[in-house]
Amino acid sequence: MAAIIPVSFVGSDVGTYRVLRMETVVGAPLAPVTAVTSHAQHVALDGVPVSAWVLRGTSTHVRYVEQSEQNTLRAVQPALGRQDCSHAALIPIRKSDAWWDLPQDERRAIFEARSQHIAATLKYLPAIARRLHHSRELGEPFDFLTWFEYAPEHAGLFEELVQLLRRTEEWKYVEREVDIRLISSPGSERPAPVGPCSVRPAE
């Protein structure tokens, strides 16, 4: 059985990552912060009193991915926590009720057969590492918390990846998205990643 890996992203004035920019792409914004820290556990907002918000999620078994696709991803996807990857992005996403009302096979058809998220994003590996955290089942304000890491010289490549995903059919079902670009704070120790990383787009 796949491990269930909890995470909390805390937005505050101090943290392991400094905010380079914070943009509301669609829907309601998050309160502006200057730093973000991730914790490998679920923490309550009142447990970090200086924070503006806490976003919680879990990483578990893959969804919407067929065996051959999973094997391909495992062969090329990089690990999180690489020393040269000082840049990161946290992009929380919520999808509409129209998405969740679709049957599983139709969501899969949009996800890969028509949007080609896996096939189209393979070329961005191993430059960009990614982990997808699920939040919908926790009653959180977002359905997914997507986390990316990359080296400074791959910032343009990451922007290309983000714009590609936003042009897909699947993105038409996104009703809230906040794009937070980050850089590791000097002298801070980044939390060690737990479990496997994933380059799957939000499901």
- For strands 17-26 and 174-184, give the pairing: antiparallel
pLDDT tens, the chain, 203 aa long: 467 889 999 999 999 999 999 999 999 999 999 999 999 999 998 888 889 999 999 987 555 555 565 666 565 677 888 999 999 999 999 999 999 999 988 988 887 667 565 777 888 989 999 898 999 999 999 999 999 999 999 999 999 999 999 999 999 999 999 999 999 988 666 555 544 444 444 45
Burial class (CB in 10 A: 0-12, 13-18, 19+), 98: exposed
Kindly list the structural domains of the chain, giving each domain's residue range(s) and its CATH number in brackets, ordered by start.
5-184 (3.30.70.3420)
Rg (alpha carbons) of the chain, rounded to whole number: 16
Q: What is the value of pTM for the model shown?
A: 0.86
